[in-house]
Chains A and B, each alone.
Chain A
Amino acid sequence: MNYVVTIGLEVHAQLLTQSKMFCSCSARYIGKEPNTNTCPVCLGLPGALPVINQQGVADTILTALALNCQIAPLTKFDRKNYFYPDLPKGYQISQFDLPLSHDGWLEVVVDGITHRCGITRVHLEEDTGTMHHAGDVLQEASSSLIDLNRCGVPLMEIVGEPDIPTPEVAREYLVRLRQILMYIGVNDGNLEEGSFRCDANISLKPAGESGLGTKVEVKNMNSFRAVQKALEFEIARQTDILNSGGTVLQETRGWVEGKSATVSQRSKEHAHDYRYFPEPDLPPMEFDAPFLATMKAKLPELPAALSQRFCEQYGLTAYEAAVLSATRDDAQTFEELVAEKIPAKVAATWLMGDVARLANEHRVPVRESGLQTTGLGVLLKLVVDNAINGSTAKELLAEFYVQGGDVAAAVRDRGLAQVSDENALVKVVDEAIAGNPRACEDFRGGKDSALQSLVGSVMKATRGRADAKMVTQLLRDRLRG
């Protein structure tokens, strides 16, 4: 039987503020000694009170705008009440019935088809602490250790509509969402460290039937690949159950990477009743039109728009445009080179080729390398002006990428300038012809590839500086002549 798959995604993304959401402790907790990043507020001490971090609110509004959401004119925080050792106050300050924003969307393209994925809401809350369990499995641990360094870090919850049809679209949605958050500078997109976390829900129903199937929640996926695999696994699992006449259990399942499977997380069910009510310690927030206009003005050009502009303005292919707008830094580097009169195609070829390889090899993007974007610009300008040839440029790029330095001076000092003076080259070409009679014969006999060894010998004689195009032309002229 054919089933219709419905997937909804819920993303939690930490904001990159300096301080926590409701207190002045640092929001940067990774790598800190346990419980060295706390105060009365985030420890939930008796009498401590929260104070809203304005930057957290601004970042969430920026995110909501980037995701085409409506911003609520009046919003407030609520308390979500439940007990757990990583939640010191016994409630999480979150948002319930008046979230900061609602009704947005994000478009993704998979296999040439554009999917507009609905976004129910983007709201703001606080992160919990972290727990370490003695033993591998939570249920079997004899004790748990609690670190509250992360507790209170601003956390956005981005709730997607259950309208995603396939695991591929789900994955692409997450890739694009993460890209946008990083573009607007509110999140570092680190799935492994958990600054960008995703839960999914998925249901299947027979094609043609109305309503929704039983919803299964899937957690513990800490890579995009894991999300896709977990959802594919669930589709197979639920299809099997339904095909054999069974019913899918409404439950929460965890993705276990080692088993490549989802596993039921059933624990003794305490009926959840979060007893939300308005946080009495925090006055509500109101956003007027001028404030929202200011926020909109802060919104940078987003990847989809940028990518399209690159195609139209610079004649790049869709693929080139997508690669060059992958991050805001990448896009900026490209446009800075173009501004230095490097033709777009040349800049694109180099950025996607040798520069990308070096960036990967040294784990440092060109903007932060010793060479810097300006150095790369100088180098490419020499190429464009025919002042050096391609292989010299590649060698210089590799040499100067990390250490930096004056590329133009090196070309001058070392005499690396390309030799494109015909008179000078004719002499060397004639020497090469004289020194390689066999190759000349082969070429004349119709073996075109024999020309390469002759070019090589000219390049060797000029220490790589000869204009290869001109050398080839001269060789052909003289051998045929």
Chain B
Amino acid sequence: MNWATTTIGECARALRDGTTTPHELLTESLARIEATNGELNAFLALSPDRAHEQATKAAERLQKEGSSASPLCGVPVAIKDVLCTEGIETTAGSKILQGFIPPYTSTAVQRLIDAGAIVVGKTNCDEFAMGSSNENSAYGPVSNPWDTTRVPGGSSGGSAAAVAAGTVTFSLGTDTGGSIRQPAALCGVVGMKPTYGRVSRYGVVALASSLDQVGPFTQTVEDCAMVYGAIAGHDPRDSTSSPSAVDDPLITLRRGVEGLRLGVPKEYFGEGLDSGVKATVEKALQQLESLGAKLVEVSLPTTDVGLSTYYIIMPAECSSNLARYDGVRFGHCAPQSSLTATYMTSRDEGFGPETKRRLMLGTYALSSGYYDAYYRKAQKVRTLVAEDFSRVFRDVDALVCPTSPVVAFPKGDRSDPYSMYLCDVLTIPVNLAGLPGLSLPCGFVDGLPVGLQVIGPRFADNLVLQVAYAYEQSTAWHKERSPIASAVAS
């Protein structure tokens, strides 16, 4: 059996009919990581001992509970290194957290562990989830499994590459402005950012608290629905987590798109969109139409100011969230002759250039005399961005559009910070409005994957999955494997 191409569903069946065991899946996963990580640099830390303990427990559960066990039971998962894992080093891709061993586990990861999933290790990412190429990691860039000279996207580049390379069956990432959906698009996998408040942020190293959300990377939409179903739900430790019930996404997954009104935001097909990506996504839209969906052109006029809004709010919150890295209770410390000098040196040595840039920008946006012009103004425009979506969702059920304006680009290609920020122009508005968004493979341009983005109203996560599933099942893109995944599998 070739596990590199298997889905959660296939693993679950094989684990139940005795074709494989949790230990076998884990051993193979670790071997594939070993074989590929030199080239990909997708993993920062492995936790084989704990994983084997979890595999033993999973095997017992499968024996005892059989088909009633979670489909995730015994299935290997990789976790973005911004989610705290008790006893496993968590660095957030930063030197300032090198050696930090959290004494507690994030809720999202705990839910996976409770379901029986096997945590194989922690994946590389842009420092504190700031970046769109994974080149901002203090531990080196990640390579795209489709073309290792290219970036996997970011900031959850390691989690996307880990799934695209077939090293794990699924992974978790975080998405503040596109950090799940954009790397999913660039690596040819499924990536979902649930509605803000759906998945607990407790234990997730915060970038921008009002925007951050945890979500899955998987090979298929069905897998995505399973993982989403496992991690979503109220957490009393996260006051922004929604207490409303989570309906099982698998119940509605197969309902198709016939009769659904799908909005096509015209601003998402404008300047800056690669012509190949544009043509590929337009073809996907025709496919949805052929499945019975009604395509409706809509307008989201605030799309162009979304990026500016984001680049005030995100760094502002970030500048506050990253103040705790002061070298007192944890993290890098470089003692100097005064307290202020110690702080300044520790943080200067510990943070990378993009982080420093955003700390300066965010500090500026909140500082006396500039707050109204920047932070308050951005908060107001944020209201308009959200209202834009509310308005179109009175007319359409969901939106379909490109995830990233471009396919995976060569490493080092976007050295100007602002050109990097433009990578997220089509994903950021979703975070500003707190909506669910999902990217799934919809074709290739020059052998590189293209992502189709599905966006829904708040808490319409299941509908987003339903639309994505209908498209996926009518095409074969999700069966395409990256060269690295194919090489390891054969």
Q: Which of A50, A79, A83, A283 lies in contact with B343, CB distance below 8 A?
A: A83
Q: Which one of A103-111, A273-281, A299-307 is at the interface?
A: A273-281
CB of B100 closer than 8 Å to a CB of A: yes
**Are A46 and B323 touching (Cβ within 8 A)?**
no
Q: Which residue of B lies closest to A283 (CB)?
A: B239
Q: Which of A46, A52, A85, A275 lies in contact with B363, CB distance below 8 A?
A: A275
In angstroms, Cα B201 to Cα A51, docked, is: 13
Q: Which residue of A lies closest to B330 (CB)?
A: A45
**Are A49 and B201 touching (Cβ within 8 A)?**
yes
Q: Which one of A86-94, A113-121, A332-340, A399-407 is at the interface?
A: A86-94
In angstroms, Cα B210 to Cα A283, docked, is: 11
Q: Which residue of B lies closest to A84 (CB)?
A: B339
Distance of B321 from chain A, by nearest CB (Å): 9
Q: In residues 193-228 of chain B, which contact A (Cβ within 8 Å)? A: 201-206, 208-210
Q: A47-B84, A81-B366, A83-B326 are in contact. Are A277 and B340 (CB under 8 A)?
A: no
Q: A81-B366, A91-B323, A146-B328 are in contact. Are A280 and B317 (CB under 8 A)?
A: yes
Q: A90-B324, A90-B326 are in contact. Are A46 and B100 (CB under 8 A)?
A: yes
**Are A81 and B209 touching (Cβ within 8 A)?**
no
Q: A280-B209, A280-B210 are in contact. Are A273 and B368 (CB under 8 A)?
A: yes
CB of A32 closer than 8 Å to a CB of B: no
Q: Which residue of B lies closest to A277 (CB)?
A: B366
CB of B156 closer than 8 Å to a CB of A: no
**Are B84 and A46 touching (Cβ within 8 A)?**
yes
**Are B328 and A40 touching (Cβ within 8 A)?**
no
Distance of A133 from chain B, by nearest CB (Å): 12
Distance of B243 from chain A, by nearest CB (Å): 11
List B contacts of A283 (CB < 8 A): 239-240
Distance of B207 from chain A, by nearest CB (Å): 11
In angstroms, Cα B324 to Cα A52, docked, is: 20
Distance of B234 from chain A, by nearest CB (Å): 12
Contact size range, A? 20 to 34
Q: A40-B104, A52-B239 are in contact. Are A47 and B206 (CB under 8 A)?
A: yes
CB of A270 closer than 8 Å to a CB of B: yes
Q: A81-B320, A85-B328, A90-B326 are in contact. Are A46 and B237 (CB under 8 A)?
A: no
CB of A352 closer than 8 Å to a CB of B: no
List B contacts of A49 (CB < 8 A): 201-202, 237-239
CB of A43 closer than 8 Å to a CB of B: yes
Q: Which of B204, B320, B326, B368 lies in contact with A47, CB distance below 8 A?
A: B204
List B contacts of A213 (CB < 8 A): none
**Are A281 and B320 touching (Cβ within 8 A)?**
no
Q: In residues 58-93 of chain A, which contact B (Cβ within 8 Å)? A: 79, 81, 83, 85, 88-91
In angstroms, Cα B323 to Cα A91, docked, is: 7
Distance of A269 from chain B, by nearest CB (Å): 12
List B contacts of A206 (CB < 8 A): none
Distance of B382 from chain A, by nearest CB (Å): 12
DSSP class of A's interface residues: helix, strand, loop or mixed? Answer: loop
Q: Which residue of B lies closest to A272 (CB)?
A: B368
List A contacts of B66 (CB < 8 A): none
**Are B366 and A51 touching (Cβ within 8 A)?**
no
Q: Which residue of A lies closest to B362 (CB)?
A: A275
CB of B272 closer than 8 Å to a CB of A: no
Q: Which of B329, B363, B366 lies in contact with A88, CB distance below 8 A?
A: B329
**Are A281 and B240 touching (Cβ within 8 A)?**
yes
**Are A51 and B236 touching (Cβ within 8 A)?**
yes
List B contacts of A85 (CB < 8 A): 326, 328, 339
In angstroms, Cα B363 to Cα A277, docked, is: 11
CB of B90 closer than 8 Å to a CB of A: yes
Q: Which residue of B lies closest to A40 (CB)?
A: B104
Q: In residues 126-148 of chain A, which contact B (Cβ within 8 Å)? A: 146, 148
Distance of B153 from chain A, by nearest CB (Å): 23
Interface string of B95-107 (1 = CB under 8 A from A): 0010010111010
Q: Which of B100, B320, B339 lies in contact with A275, CB distance below 8 A?
A: B320
In angstroms, Cα B324 to Cα A89, docked, is: 4
Q: Which residue of A lies closest to B331 (CB)?
A: A46
List A contacts of B106 (CB < 8 A): 47
Q: Which residue of B lies closest to A51 (CB)?
A: B239
CB of B15 closer than 8 Å to a CB of A: no
Distance of A437 from chain B, by nearest CB (Å): 89
Distance of A42 from chain B, by nearest CB (Å): 11
CB of A456 closer than 8 Å to a CB of B: no
**Are B367 and A282 touching (Cβ within 8 A)?**
no
CB of B92 closer than 8 Å to a CB of A: yes
Q: In residues 312-335 of chain B, which contact A (Cβ within 8 Å)? A: 316-317, 319-320, 322-324, 326, 328-330
**Are A83 and B323 touching (Cβ within 8 A)?**
yes
CB of A99 closer than 8 Å to a CB of B: no
Q: Which of B203, B206, B323, B340 lies in contact with A81, CB distance below 8 A?
A: B323
CB of A185 closer than 8 Å to a CB of B: no
In angstroms, Cα B338 to Cα A182, docked, is: 41
Interface string of B356-371 (1 = CB under 8 A from A): 0000000100111001
In angstroms, Cα B371 to Cα A273, docked, is: 11
List A contacts of B339 (CB < 8 A): 85
List A contacts of B82 (CB < 8 A): 47
Q: Which of A88, A90, A276, A281 lies in contact with B239, CB distance below 8 A?
A: A281
CB of B83 closer than 8 Å to a CB of A: yes
Q: Which of A46, A51, A52, A90 lies in contact with B320, CB distance below 8 A?
A: A90
Distance of A146 from chain B, by nearest CB (Å): 7
Distance of B235 from chain A, by nearest CB (Å): 9
CB of A48 closer than 8 Å to a CB of B: yes
**Are B343 and A91 touching (Cβ within 8 A)?**
no
CB of B375 closer than 8 Å to a CB of A: yes
Q: Which residue of A lies closest to B211 (CB)?
A: A280
List B contacts of A52 (CB < 8 A): 239
CB of A254 closer than 8 Å to a CB of B: no
Distance of B413 from chain A, by nearest CB (Å): 31
List A contacts of B316 (CB < 8 A): 277
Q: In residues 11-55 of chain A, which contact B (Cβ within 8 Å)? A: 40, 43-52
Q: Which residue of A lies closest to B202 (CB)?
A: A49
List A contacts of B90 (CB < 8 A): 46
Distance of A12 from chain B, by nearest CB (Å): 22
List B contacts of A276 (CB < 8 A): 366
Distance of B5 from chain A, by nearest CB (Å): 34
Q: A51-B239, A275-B363 are in contact. Are A44 and B209 (CB under 8 A)?
A: no
Contacts from B to A (Cβ < 8 Å): 82-84, 90, 92, 97, 100, 102-104, 106, 201-206, 208-210, 236-240, 316-317, 319-320, 322-324, 326, 328-330, 339-340, 343, 363, 366-368, 371, 375
A-B contact pairs, 29 of them (CB 8 A): A40-B203, A44-B324, A45-B102, A46-B92, A46-B206, A46-B324, A46-B330, A47-B82, A47-B106, A47-B202, A48-B104, A48-B203, A49-B237, A49-B238, A51-B236, A81-B320, A81-B366, A88-B328, A88-B329, A90-B323, A90-B324, A90-B326, A91-B320, A148-B329, A273-B368, A277-B366, A280-B208, A280-B210, A280-B317
Which 7 residue pairs are nearest across A and B when measured between Cβ atoms? Answer: A90-B323, A275-B366, A280-B209, A280-B210, A47-B203, A46-B205, A44-B324
* Extra inter-chain contacts (12) besides given A40-B103, A85-B326, CB under 8 Å: A45-B84, A45-B102, A45-B104, A46-B206, A47-B102, A47-B106, A85-B339, A89-B324, A275-B367, A277-B320, A280-B317, A283-B240
